[in-house]
Each structure stands twice: as C-alpha cells, then as structure tokens.
Structure 1
Amino acid sequence: MSVLFSSAIQYSTAQDSEGTVVRDSQTVLLEGKTLPANDYIHLYDATPYMIKAGHVAAKLPCDSKSETSLKVLIGQAPNLKPADLELLKELSKPGAMCIYHVDVESTKQVNGTITDIALQNPTNKEVKFAPTATIVIGVDEIMPGAEEAGAMGNMSMGNSTG
C-alpha cells in the first residue's frame, strides 16, 4: 500500500527546561487506499523525543451515528492505546465521512509517553478509503527522554481495540 504524505516542519529555538517548541505538520491523504482487517498504518514517530504538545484531526468513514470503526492509536511503541476522539459535528456527514480530533500530550504518568501515532482497523473487514479521507498530525512541542520513559521495541497493537 502506498500512502501520500505531506510534511511541513518549522523549528523554533524557543526552549524551556522541559521542551523545545517546533511546528511539524504531517498530512496523510488516504483516498483510494485500503487498510486490511486487523492491521494498522504507522503515521508518526517522534523517537527519541516525546510529543509534549500536539493535535490529531482525522476525516474517516463513519456510520449513521457518527461513529467510526477505526482507531487512532497513541503512545510509545509497542504500547499504543486508542485516543479518545471528539466528533466535530459541524464538519461531519453521518453515514459517510466524519471529522474527529484529539489533543496529544505526553505526561509523566505511567504509560503517559507519546512518541507514536497510528491508524488501526480493529475489525475483520478491510476498509477502502473514500475521497477526502485524511489524517493531519500537528506537533507543537517535543521534549527529550523517550528512551528513559519506556522500553524500546517493535510496535504491536496487541489488545488495543478497547
């Protein structure tokens, strides 16, 4: 599967004791692509840095109740969990395509480190993406320490569906 990525990076020298301000924007155009059943697309990896502040917006297929079967996963590989997506009703078309978004922020809590973002299809059916299906990832601030926050390893989704 080929996926079109568009990226814009703007670095700033603004630093505090906790992080560095950056502006990294990744746009993933999904039109015409297929996400196999029980599989995922790894969209973003900030390692060796943690994402201190960021945002994800996703325009995805949805049912008549504005729910999508797809999951945006966040965390530090291999420990990714589904993000709590918020529906943007004004920009959504229930039964067709809906827009969701979530703020992304690493914390000092156990499993609070975010370095990776992925899109998962936890269903037993492949998903073929319609025109305008997109994911936009914006990273505003990063900080070092991802290696100390958790063990590095191969990414697996394990039981990430719930």
Structure 2
Amino acid sequence: MRNIYDKIVGFRAELVERCQRAKRSQKTLVLTTGVWDLLHEGHLVYLTEARMLGDFLAVGVNSDAHVKTIKGSGRPIINERQRAFMVAGFECVDLVYTFDDRLDIVKAVEPSVFVMSETSHANPNEGERLVQQQVVKEKGGRVVIFGPQRQCSTTEIIRRIRCL
C-alpha cells in the first residue's frame, strides 16, 4: 500500500503538478469532491466506483469553513485534516486535496472525468454545479452523475446519534 501522507497535497501548485504528471503518463484522471464527514460504506462504494472510471482518482475534501456554509454550524464533525487523511487511506484514492472553491479545483485538475453525486448535483448551489460541468466539458472532459448511495448517509448517522 502506498504511503497515505504521499497522497495528500497541501498546495494548489502541487495539485496541478501531480495531476499533469498523471495525464502525461496517459492516465485517465477522475475527480470527485465532497465533505467525507463520518466515513461510511456509501463513501467507499462511491469512491471505488469513481476510480473504476479511470486510472487516477483525485478527491477534493471540502474545507471546514466551506462545510459550515453548506451544512451548517454543527458541521463538520471531523476536521478537514482528519477527513483528508481518512479518504487518502482508501486504496482506490490516488490524491487528496482540501479546497474552499469548487470551481477552482475543477480548473486546477482539468479532469477527464468529473464525478458528482445526484444529491450534491441537486443542491441549492445548482448554478455553481452547472458552471463546474461546463468547465469540465470545455476542457474535453465528461461529467458522470452517480445516483444516491442508499446504504447510509452521514446526516442519518448524526440523526441516529442525537436520538441516543
């Protein structure tokens, strides 16, 4: 297994360089993004299926500040450093980057395939999501939207814990 720490990049320039290196090696670069809070089976299924669409999976982890704006003040439960580390621990993941700007990460990575979940695609920031898709397509990539993961959800886990 690769070193988990080697999979985590801290600077945009390093993200760009590592993704360009993968493309120069003729790898199909897949990008997906998410909160990845309280990891569960659905997350692993999603990431594994995303990886099957290419040869190199880059995963964006929403920063703590960004998560608060999209999920509310009680989130995330797990901080961004720990979430990035946990995501990097999955064998199917090749690269992890914590980000604030959804559009910037797509522009930086220029993925061959951009994977989105149906639930995030239908969120209140739909206009922003449409711009992401447009940028991917303009660069010759394609967008794949996965259906909802029925096994579990972080929101449901939090709800069950609160009921204890």
TM-score (norm 2): 0.27
TM-score (norm 1): 0.27
Higher helix share: 2
Higher strand share: 1
Larger RCO, structures 1/2 (Cα 8 Å, 6+ apart) = 1
